[in-house]
Chains A and B, each alone.
Chain A
Amino acid sequence: MSDRPIKLERDEQHMFNVRVVVAGIIILFALLAILGRVYQLQVSQHEKYAELSRQHYQKRIPIPPNRGQIYDRNGVLLADSHTQYVLEVVRDNIGDENGDGKSSLADVDGLLDRLGKIIPLIDKDVRLFKTQVRRFKYQPIPIRGDLTEEEVATFAVNRPRFPGVTMEVRMERYYPLMETASHVIGYVGRIDARDLERVNKDEYIGTTHIGKSGIEAFHEARLHGKAGYHEIEVDAHGKKQSVLSEQEPIGGEELFLGLDINLQITAEQSLKGERGAIVAMDPTNGEVLALASVPTFDPNLFINGITQKDYTTLREDPSRPLFNRALQGTYPPGSTIKPMVGVAGLAEGVVTPGSRVYDPGFFRLSGQKHVFRCWNKRGHGSVDLKYSIQQSCDTYFYDLAYRMGVDRFSGFMRRFGFGDKTGIDLPGEASGLMPSKEWKEKRHKRSWFPGDTVNIGIGQGYWLATPLQLAHAVSIMANRGVRLKPHVLRGVRTARNEEESVLKPEPFPSIDTQDRFWNLTIQGMENVMRPGGTAKAAGAGAAYRIAGKTGTAQVFGLAGGKYNAGRIAKRLRDHALFVGFAPADDPKIAVAVIVENSSGSGGHTAAPIGRKVMDAYLLKQYGDHALKPEGAVAQQEAEQAAAAAVAADKKPEAAAEKTKQTKGKKARKGHD
């Protein structure tokens, strides 16, 4: 190189310098491009990345709120949450259990074998577990709940032997009274996808259960409370570093129901062995005191997913225990509506207190051959309204309804709440059916016949009502026209202010008519319970005045034939009904009773049950099974009550036996 001429060397230096300058410029721009990129990230898009960074290391761990308890009106605990230890299995974590060299579903059986040796497993739970474990590989699935302290200790010692099995503490709902009032309280169950669609998902992240029926479902928003959260800082592996902020959950409200659980037990027991419903209300404020649908079921079965077998048993039981008869059962109201029809007739001027109708034992529309029979074939002779209620004379009401016309008739009955949902705070209420001309034309594509009007005059024909509607209507009678919305919830206590606020009864437009019309019909109802009335046996020896009305709803139409309960299949027998309130001069309780396919009439079967319920409430005659407000005691006593109930079982059957002889003589139609 050194032998090169200097001149060349200088040219070369020059060329090199040019190259370096060009390279320098390129380098400068390249570094500016990097800085530009960094500017874009750090300045232009800073917000976006700052948020992403926050989301990364800040995790919100929801803390589910404790579900509010449910009490009856006297503070007896109906639904509680208790902590319980649960064993859960995550299938993906159990590894190769059976040693066949691979991790598979077969390993679950091996695990259960070993686990079952130290902790007793329940067959029912295992079956449920196996159906779920097949579907979910990564989710914890409970294998055994409600561990005893001993079992908790046993598992804790053996934990290392069971990879994939964890012991969790859970707040879990339970219903200490088991089958009592299950149709009112309802139950909670595991949240499913459909539930999530109708709730605020953020509030339910940590929640596992949600109200599925009854009060639990209707007042879900009150019971659930507000979820809290821990905002924690986590590292890339999800490990907690520190707590950034915390929001304690707010527990759900405690609900106090208008339900008197002792009255409820009385009601349910008086229907033992039958299928039927009882609704008792406080007419002065619309509070539901008892709402029984028999048979009932144990809501505890549903909490963690009912087994297929249990569900099939419940669903295929011909008595349909899951069906809430009080709310969803629609029955022809039969003669129970005669007092209301009487008020309608008086108010509309169709009849007067003194006007009389001659009952030859039947009613016939002029110019027609067809006869509508009174239950008393020989006829009641010349009758007025009061006597017609007492004797349940059909002819009088055939005549009244026919002369009133369907439009006015249905319109007035709607004011007693028929044909509409009462608006009670329970889900799934049926609206029944108050027929009208328009309805028939639309539904049956046939015009309304005068005979249809005659039939609904005695609560038959197309008319359908729920037991709740009957209790509601008789409450309006008791109130002399003041209509209040039935409700189960009486008051709440929030987690924060600890105060109980009683919810106000919601009034409807009242039925405004003369007092003497009410007095007259109520007197008729009182006479029903007295000698000469259709429920004289049930009314005998009462310590207070009762106003009542019996009814028999026809299930099976016998074309002119004779009805014999003994010979007809039980399913096709008539329903026995009773409505009433007491004390008649100062109503405190209104009751509706229906016994499906009863062996006896309304007067013989349903009315004594109504009386029993009234006695229980007004005279506090709950028997020795009365529950007291302490949760733990209440549970214990519930068991005693259950035992007592078994002992008491025989009595109503014996009574039913006695009435059997008389019922066969009764004539077919709309008797009582």
Chain B
Amino acid sequence: MINSLLPRGLVLALQRVDAVLLAVLSLLVFLGLATLYSASDANLEQVQRQIVHFSIGLVLIIIFSQISSKTLRQWSVWLYGIGVVLLILVLLVGVTKKGATRWLYIGMDIQPSEIMKLAVPMMVAYYFSEKPLPPRFIDIVIALVLVLVPMLLVMKQPDLGTSLLIATSGFFVIYLAGMSWWLIGGAVLFVGVASPLMYFFGMHEYQRKRIETLLDPESDLLGTGYHIYQSKIAIGSGGIDGKGWMRGDQAHLDFLPERHTDFIFAVFGEEFGFVGNIVLMGLYLFIIWRGLYLASKGEDTYARHLGGSLSVSFFFYLFVNTGMVSGLLPVVGVPLPLVSYGGTSVVTLMMTFGIIMGMRKRKRIYQRDS
């Protein structure tokens, strides 16, 4: 019935959108908006702006779900190449804010490292799509170089959090491409042994200090430790069933910093409690599962690798953020996906889901039409 009311082109376009994933995403978005409303002290304007972000994201889902893996694959090299050039430009003529040079000014400030979150897995997936699988050692080395170049450029800005996310999104492709378990085991072992050696013998005192605060934020209660301390109190005081929506003391009395952005998970935990957290994690798990499912139904190798990598990256954002806010992991500036306030984050994540949907194998009807 709806089909008859809409133009045929749009109907066909909507068929590319995965209804199941969209439904669960919508649930998460709804929950996120409610939490944001509370975290921003009933700031309706802010919630409205976030709704605009989601609307743009929805349009991008529809648009990007149309793009086939073949098309995207062709864009990979360009996007990656432009991205690297922009990153170099950032280092040369970038805009500096709060001691970090991450932006380029082109009428407005843009952050090229955001592009790389997508461009790197695309590039690595592109590289492996032309190579025999499982990848040979030399291909893995080349893929690593493709990952490490932008990662180091971003690290130099400095932006440790983003460089980490860029690197992992590339690593996930290498993993999914079939890098041998032995190599993976060896790499893990190497990092496990090298890090302490590096820490004890290869670092200056001040560098060690910085690592220590990163790993144990509560040793610095007046700096980052304050955030963690407050968010642990917020989550812990929420208890099993929470203090109720709009009734979190920690959040509403301004104790919790960054509460509508990176630390919104603490507001959610304080107000909805452990029960709420189970529901939230359930939603995330379902979204990740659906993403991986769609990836495994990918059109080709490129589609599978890219879709899989983006889905795992989504999990990784979630893990880093909740781990940080609950005091398990070091503090890195990563928002809680699709819940934290922020245009860039929301729009790029929605776009990502559009890409994941687009990677799915085309049905015959559609193939015939094209």
Contact = CB atoms under 8 A, between A and B. Distances in A.
B253 A34 contact: no
B233 interface: yes
B281 interface: yes
B365 to A, nearest CB: 20
A439 interface: no
B223 interface: no
B235 A20 contact: no
A49 B237 contact: yes
A46 B322 contact: no
Interface string B224-259: 000000001111111110000000011001110000
A17 B301 CA distance: 12
A23 B249 CA distance: 38
B249 A56 contact: yes
Contacts of B237: 46, 49-50, 52-53
A5 to B, nearest CB: 11
B75 interface: no
B301 A38 contact: no
Interface in B258-289: 269, 273-274, 277-278, 281, 284-285, 288-289
A27 B315 contact: yes
Interface stretch (A167-175, A235-243, A475-483, A506-514): A235-243
B328 interface: yes
B236 A50 contact: yes
A35 B236 contact: no
Given A1-B301, A42-B240, A43-B240, A49 B322 contact: no
Interface string A98-131: 0000000000000000000000000000000000
Nearest to A35: B281
Nearest to A15: B178
Given A16-B296, A27-B288, A42-B273, A237 B236 contact: no
Contacts of B255: 56-57, 235-236
B277 A16 contact: no
A9 B304 CA distance: 12
B127 interface: no
Contacts of A50: 236-237, 239
A16 B308 contact: yes
Contacts of B235: 38, 41-42, 49
Contacts of A1: 129-130, 300-302
B315 A46 contact: no
Interface in B281-334: 281, 284-285, 288-289, 292, 295-296, 300-302, 304-305, 308, 312, 315, 318-319, 322-323, 326-328
B342 interface: no
Residues of A contacting B: mostly: helix
Contacts of B254: 235-237
A241 B252 CA distance: 11
Interface in A35-76: 35, 37-39, 41-43, 45-46, 48-50, 52-53, 56-57
B302 A37 contact: no
Given A20-B308, A31-B284, A46-B240, A53 B250 contact: yes
B93 interface: no
A46 B277 contact: no
A2 interface: yes
Nearest to A30: B319
Given A16-B296, A19-B175, A23-B292, A241 B232 contact: no
Interface string A77-94: 000000000000000000
Interface string A234-265: 11110001000000000000000000000000
A216 to B, nearest CB: 42
A28 interface: yes
Interface in B2-33: none
Given A42-B236, A53-B249, A241-B253, A24 B284 contact: no
Interface string A562-590: 00000000000000000000000000000
A241 B41 CA distance: 14
A41 B236 contact: yes
Nearest to B239: A46
A480 B31 CA distance: 92
Nearest to A23: B312
Interface residues of B, number: 50
A43 B239 contact: yes
B134 interface: yes
A233 interface: yes
A348 interface: no
Given A16-B176, A23-B312, A236 B281 contact: no
B133 interface: yes
Contacts of A23: 172, 175-176, 292, 308, 312
Nearest to A18: B178
B233 A52 contact: yes
A236 B296 CA distance: 49
A486 B180 CA distance: 99
A8 B285 CA distance: 31
Contacts of B274: 38-39, 42-43
A235 B240 CA distance: 24
B132 to A, nearest CB: 8
A202 interface: no
Contacts of B304: 13, 16
Interface in B134-184: 134, 172, 175-176, 178
B236 A49 contact: yes
Nearest to A16: B304
A30 B315 contact: yes
Contacts of A28: 285
A20 B292 CA distance: 7
A236 B253 contact: yes
Contacts of B133: 8, 12, 15
Nearest to B275: A42
Contacts of A56: 233, 249-250, 253, 255
A12 B236 contact: no
A236 B315 CA distance: 33
A53 B233 contact: yes
Nearest to B237: A53
B253 A31 contact: no
Contacts of B328: 33-34, 37
Nearest to B252: A235
User: Which of A9, A38, A50 has the most CB atoms of chain B within a 10 A radius of its CB?
Assistant: A38
Interface string B106-138: 000000000000000000000001100110000
Given A34-B328, A43-B240, A53-B233, A233 B253 contact: yes
Contacts of B308: 16, 19-20, 23
A131 to B, nearest CB: 33
B292 A12 contact: no
A17 B296 contact: yes
B360 to A, nearest CB: 14
Nearest to B181: A22
Contacts of A30: 315, 319
A23 to B, nearest CB: 6
A37 to B, nearest CB: 5
A243 B129 CA distance: 67
A42 B308 CA distance: 33
B326 A41 contact: yes
A46 B312 contact: no
Contacts of B178: 12, 15-16, 19
A42 B240 CA distance: 6
B288 A46 contact: no
Interface of B: 129-130, 133-134, 172, 175-176, 178, 232-240, 249-250, 253-255, 269, 273-274, 277-278, 281, 284-285, 288-289, 292, 295-296, 300-302, 304-305, 308, 312, 315, 318-319, 322-323, 326-328
10 contacts: A8-B133, A13-B304, A31-B284, A34-B319, A34-B328, A38-B235, A43-B240, A53-B233, A56-B250, A237-B254
Given A41-B326, A42-B238, A53-B234, 11 more contacts: A16-B305, A24-B292, A35-B278, A37-B323, A37-B328, A42-B277, A46-B237, A49-B236, A56-B253, A235-B254, A236-B255
